[in-house]
Amino acid sequence: MALSSYPHSGYRYAYLGDLPGHVKALGSVHQIPVTIPANAITATLTFWLNITTAEANGAAYDFMEVNIRRIPDDSLIRRERVYSNLNSSITENVPGDYRRQSIDLLAYKGQSFTLQFYVDTDFSNATLFRIDGVSLLADGS
């Protein structure tokens, strides 16, 4: 987590993607171990997302994936969501304009896995994927 400008709440948020003024091809990863209880009747991942980009020509070059990965070998179980620079319109390409995202993870009840936020950007025109307030709420029966 980085101490920087434009958090959604508090003072910190995960800062994934190119650094302003230091544009380069970059991969960055945040991984969170998760267990969904076997008796869960709901399991919802929510997070706040802010995407800003300098890409302008209408093609996808920079990506953020939300992945479910197997413990312990880290193999991919499922790619739940893919965002790109094209999705900067979600937050109108404005720094700090976070929008709530929600992913249903009830399909994984009774399982432990790694929740992964993975960013892969190319060498030009920075895209920033700011995520904040990641939570996973599960209700049991």
What the block records as the tokens of 82 is: 């893919």
Candidate segments 27-35, 40-48, 71-79, 118-126, binder of Ca ion by CB under 5 A: 118-126
Could you say whether residue 132 binds Ca ion (CB under 5 A)?
no
62 vs 132, which CB is nearer to Ca ion?
A: 62
Site track 69-108 with Ca ion (rule: CB under 5 A), x = hit? ----------------------------------------
Site for Ca ion contains 61 (CB under 5 A): yes
User: Does residue number 125 form part of the binding site for Ca ion (CB under 5 A)?
Assistant: yes
- Contact between 119 and 53 under an 8 Å Cβ cutoff? The reply is no
User: Least distance (Å) from Ca ion to the CB of residue 61?
Assistant: 4
Is the Cα dihedral 100, 105, 111, 115 positive or negative? negative
Please report, in angstroms and rounded to a whole number, the separation of the first and last CA atoms in the chain: 34
Task: Give the C-alpha separation, 41 to 11, whole Å.
Answer: 33
Give the strand pairing for 12-17 and 2-3.
Answer: antiparallel
**122 sits near Ca ion (criterion: CB under 5 A):** yes
- Smallest distance, Ca ion to C-beta of residue 17, A: 8
Residues in contact with Ca ion, shown as a per-residue x/- string from 36 to 55 under the rule CB under 5 A: --------------------
Summarize as ranges the residues that interact with Ca ion (CB under 5 A).
61-62, 121-122, 125
